[in-house]
Every structure is written in structure tokens, then in C-alpha cells.
Structure 1
């Protein structure tokens, strides 16, 4: 009996000590959990971006090395580009050729337009001249006929008066013919009519002069009395005047010829304008080919896809690389973040857009970030309830914080400690 009691007392002491130890340990653990819940930690994280060529080829130059800080758009490496450069020059030559064709077509159009205008002017001049020649010829025929009739009938006072009138009419016709000849000579100097047109008007002028002289003779004959040779001469002049009238009427056909020239010039203008459109289309195609070649030439330059730091180099100068091969790996510094895990009991009122204060454990510096996402964490971050009555599961939420600005001392991977939400 005396031996059993010490054993019981020892067992009870062990039980009481163990219970005290477990209670103390649980309290310490609970205090640590509280601290971790209130001030969790996370790491500065960033994206790792691969820099790749859009086309395959042989690497001719790499301008950076591991650890270099680069800016977005900075040239990092080059591919061999001799063939593409040749295509660019070829495309530029094609553009220049197309522009030359446009200029040539425009010159042809201007020439055709000038010929058209010249033809229109020629039609108008020819039409006016032909009608004037017909009228002059008719007047000459009338005058010659009157002269012949007067010679046959003998000179009377009325006939003398008529001879005077005919002389005046012939003089007027001569004056008109002289004016026409002078005008045609002026237009010939301007290149508006041909020499043949001037020659025709000159013929009319000579005819008018002859008829004026004939009228003068008829007037003299009326005053002096006709002679047989005068009658024959008058009849000859009448026949000449009638022939001139037929010639003038025949010259009206030249108007249609000139109108045909205008139609041909109009067709030439349309053809030249079509050539301009074709050349312009060729220029557009050549420019598109040049743009395509220059675009491919730009693909031979490897540029930094983001601001960051060169992490690694996967190709060497002289190597052949394919399209999309990651020549360089860049750690982006454009956007960096940290992801904290907090229990649901600690994020009440936390929303996207809130500003969060944090401390860099390595330097003690304070930084501020913005909440970008609040998402439920996986099951491993869930605190399971014990068998104790009244306890429930507690879920954790991943809080992604975008780090707006970081000090120069901050690098990816450093530890941040959560301080809490800030105002503003």
C-alpha cells in the first residue's frame, strides 16, 4: 500500500506537468498566430519576359549582357539583314520608277490637253473662215453677174449708179479679205492654224482684190461704154467667181476634219489619264512592298519588350536562331507586386483600390502599394476547426498588392511586411 501511493502521486505529477506544458505551448502558438495574422510577410515579385526575334536568322551582334538595366524599346541584338536590306532598296527603286511613270503620264496628259484645245480653236477658226469665204464668193459672183449683165445691156445712168455700188461692195469685200488674211497670219505665228489655212485665206484675198479691180473696170466701162473684150473679160471673171464660190463651199468640209482631230485629241487625253491612274496604282503597290520590306528589316532588331534587367542570355553571336527563340530573358521592372495571405477575420472592409502600407525588412523603409485582387486562397491556407465545441474553419485570402513605387534599394525577392490599410 505504501509502495502504490508514491506511484500514483508521481503519475499525477507527470500528468499535471504535461498539461501545464501543453497549455503554455498552445498559448505561445496562439500569440504567434496573432502576430502573423496582423503583420504577414510576402516577397517582391515581377514578371520574367523573353526577348525573341520575329524572324529567324544568324545573330550578328548582342549589345547587352547579364545584369544590364534596359529600357523598353532599346535595341538588344541584331540579325543578319543583307538580303532584307537588298529587298528594301529594290522596293525603293520600284517606288521611284512608279513616280517616274506618273510624271511621264502627267506630261502626256498635258500634251494631249494642249492638242485638244488647239484643235477646238482650229475648228472654230476654220468654221468662221469657211463661212466668210462662202459669203465673199457669193458676193463676188453677184458682182460679176451684174457686171456681165450691165455690159450686155449697155450703160445707163442707173447702170452707172449700179457700177458705183458694185465697186463699193467689191471694195468692202476686199477690205474684209485683207482683214482675214492679217488675222490668219497672226494666228499662224501663235501656232493656232496651219500654213495651208493661211494659204486658202490668201487665195480669197487675191480673189477679192481681183474682183475689186474688176468692179473698178466695170465702173470705168459704164462711164466709157462697154467693149467686146470687156464683155468677155467680165464673163470670165464671173466664171472665176462662180468657181471660187464652189471652192469656198467645198472648204466647209474642213470643219468636219478638224472636229475629227478634236475627237482624237479627246481620246488621247482619256488614254493619258488612264495611264496616270495605272501608274498611281503601281506606286501604291510599290510603296506597300517597300513598307513590307522595311517591316521585315525592323524584325532583324531585337528590342527590349519592357523596362527591366537582363537575367540570362540563351544565344551567342554567330548562332542561327529561329523565330520566337528566347535569345534573352528580361526581369520586368515596369510592374512589380507582392502577394500576402490573410485570414478572412483580418480583411474586413478591404477592397480593390485600397492603399496598403508595408515595410521592407532588409532596410526598414516604408512603401505603399495598391490592392489589385482579393481572392480566396487554396485549401492548404484554410485553418481547420478542432473537435472543440464552437470552433469553425477559417479561410485565407490572397491579397495581391501592386507596388507603385519602390526605392532604389529594393530588388525582386526582398521581404515585405504588411502594416495595414492607409488613407488616400
Structure 2
């Protein structure tokens, strides 16, 4: 019986040793969790203009800190200056036409119209006297009906001429019609609009920074031509920084917007900071599928996850690596 006890004890000790070796082997051989690596990003603005021209002066250099509204470059555009001269000339011409319509005819024209009216009235009065005399003679059967009709026709013509002269004089006094004045004023407003458009292009000749930040790129050199919308410089806003990660869906583990994660930044001597997840979206389907195992199972898709630091991280620059602490 004593021998049996010894045998059982040996077997138990052996089992414990085998179990311990298995646990130690599992711990040693257990793979480390796959690190989730991303990078810091920041808002970047492309500075460009509406007006094509030649870069006359560059006021900034790459790496220079600038403030919102600072001038980055001046673009020289002779075409805009020519259009400004044309717009000013059109404005002056339209103003002159409007003034002419408002003031009416010149004093000399009014006087001439008045003299013609008076002349027509005298002629009418003279023929009226002749017609009255002819009427008496016609009633007494002294003159023929033909003579009477001739004088009557001349008087009617003189009367009509007097009315026409009176209308011409009245028109000269009143000036242009209300419609003509409105049309002339509309031409002035149209010229004002064209002038405002050209003046707005003048403001576009000075390219300014849309935000505080650092000049990350300057594309053309002084003297080079740039087209409409062509970028002249890039400004990076270091106050608007976030982390972006590409995470396989089997590593998300229920991560959702609003969750807080701890991010370690190797470039800042391993400094850690908290960040809040504010964006989760699947990436484009191309080149984002990855098998979870070499055989069977399923393909995992990649998601883009963005997180904003809870507090400002001094020294953090776009492009620095970021690791999610698990």
C-alpha cells in the first residue's frame, strides 16, 4: 500500500510540473497585441486667387508663422488694370447720358423751339384774318368757292403747324421722357456694377492667409505665372490637430464615437495624451480587405478612426506617429 501511495504522489507531482510547463509556455508564446498606429494630422489651407497673373512679390517663406489676414503674395495683372480703366470710362459715359436726360434740352434749343412756335402763331393769326375776310366775301357771293377753300386749307395748315411747334417747345422744356430717364439711370447702375466687379478683382491681387498657422509649402517663385485657382502656398493650422488611425474591424472591439482613448507619441519622448473619438467610417473598398486567417474564416475591412486631443499637446506636429495604448 505504501508503494501505491508513492506512485500516486509521483504521478501528481509530474502532472503539476507538466501543467506549470504548459502555462509558462502559453504565457511565453502568447503573441503580443497588434499595435494600432496612426499619425497626427492638421487642417491645411491652400491659398489661391481668382485672377491669373504673375507673382510680383512673395512675402513669406516655408516654415514661417503667420496670422490670419497676413499678405502672402502680390499678383500683378495688367489685364485687370485695363478692365478697370474700361469700367471707369463706361461709368463716366453712362453718367453723362443720365445727366443729359435729366437736364433736358439746352437753353439754345429751348429758345429756338419757342421762336418757331411764335412764328407759327403769327402765321396762323395772319391766315385767320384772311379767312375771316374771305368768309364775308364768300357769304356775299363775291368770291368763288374755290378761292374760299384755298384760304381755308392754308389756315388749317398754319393751325396744325402752330400746334406742332407748341408741342416741340413743350418737349424741349420738359426734357426727356420718364422712360428715357429711367433707361439712362439703369445704364449708370449697370456701369456701377461692372466697376464694382473689377474693383473686387483688385482685392484678389493680394493673397492673404485664411488662418493662423505655419507656411508649409510655397509653390511658385517670384516672377512665375499663376492661373485662376492655382495654389500659391499652403498654410497649416496647428490649433486644429487630430489623430487618424486605420483599424481593422476585428480590432475595433466596439469602439464608438465619444469614447476616450490614450495615445502615445514616440516623437515627444513617449508622451501620452487622452483623445476623444469623433469620426469612424469605413475606408474605400480597394486594398482594405485582409484575411483574418490564412484559410476559411472571413475577410476584415479597414475603418478610419479619428480622435481629437482633449487638451493641447505642445510640440505636436502633423505627420508624427501616434500609438493607441491598449
Compute the TM-score of the two structures, normalised by the length of structure 1: 0.47
Q: Relative to structure 1, is the Cα distance of residues 378 and 59 closer, same or farther in structure 2, using a 3 angstrom cutoff?
A: closer
Is 2:236 the counterpart of 1:328? Answer: no
User: What CA deviation, in whole Å up to 9, does each residue of 1:31-64 have, x standing for no partner?
Assistant: 5116x3xxx3321024655434433322211111
Q: Residue 200 of structure 2 aligns with which residue?
A: 295
Partner of 2:258: 354
1:85-100 matched pairs, under 5 angstroms: 85-100=81-96
Please identify the structure whose Cα radius of gyration is greater: 1
Summarize the Cα distance change of 1:399–1:371 in structure 2 as closer, same or farther, 3 Å threshold. farther
* Alignment correspondent of 1:407: 313
Preserved CA contact (<8 Å) 1:383 1:394: yes
Shift of 1:349: 4.1
Alignment of 1:193-212 (within 5 A): none
Give, in whole Å, the separation in 1 of the partners of 2:260 and 2:240: 16
Correspondent of 2:273 among 361, 366, 371: 366
Q: Distance in 2 between matches of 1:28 and 1:374?
A: 36
| Deviation of 1:406 (Å) | 3.6
Which residue of 32, 50, 65 corresponds with 1:54?
50
CA distance in 2, matches of 1:28, 1:298: 69
2:279 maps to 1:338: no
Q: For the residues of structure 2 that align with 1:77 and 1:50, how far apart are their CA atoms?
A: 13
The corresponding residue for 1:384 is 292
Q: Report Cα offsets for 1:76-99 as digits up to 9, x if no partner.
A: 101224552353244235324433
Measured in 1, the distance between the counterparts of 2:325 and 2:240 equals 21
1:95-123 superposed Cα distances (whole Å, 9 cap, x missing partner): 244334323422329x9xxxxxxx9xxxx
Measure the CA separation in 1 of the matches of 2:288 and 2:59.
Answer: 46
Aligned 8 A contact 2:43 2:241 in 1: yes
Measured in 1, the distance between the counterparts of 2:174 and 2:280 equals 70
Q: How many pairs does the alignment contain?
A: 258
User: 1-side partners of 2:88 and 2:260: how far apart?
Assistant: 57
- CA change 1:381–1:280 in 2 (3 A) is same
Task: Supply the distance in 2 between the matched residues of 1:386 and 1:98 (Cα, whole angstroms).
Answer: 81
Deviation at 1:68, TM superposition (A): 1.6
- Alpha-carbon spacing, 1:321–1:345, altered in 2? closer, same or farther (3 Å): closer
Structure-2-length-normalised TM-score: 0.59
Structure with higher helix content:
1
Residues 350, 268 of structure 1: alpha-carbon distance in 2 compared, 3 angstrom cutoff:
farther
1:274 and 1:61 mapped to 2: Cα distance? 50
Q: Runs of 5+ in structure 1 lacking a partner?
A: 1-19, 112-118, 120-195, 197-252
User: Cα gap change, 1:57/1:386 in structure 2, threshold over 3 Å: closer, same or farther?
Assistant: closer
CA contact (8 A) 2:52 2:77 kept: no
Corresponding residue for residue 33 of structure 2: 33
CA RMSD of aligned residues (A): 4.5
Gaps of 5+ in 2: 1-20, 108-113, 115-120, 122-157
Q: Secondary structure at the match of 1:312?
A: strand
Asked if 2 retains the 8 angstrom alpha-carbon contact of 1:44 and 1:338, the reply is yes
DSSP-derived class of the 1:385 partner: coil
Is 1:417 the counterpart of 2:307 in the alignment? no
Q: Distance in 2 between matches of 1:292 and 1:278?
A: 21
Q: Give the Cα separation in 2 of the matches to 1:368 and 1:104.
A: 71
Cα gap change, 1:263/1:64 in structure 2, threshold over 3 Å: closer, same or farther? Answer: same
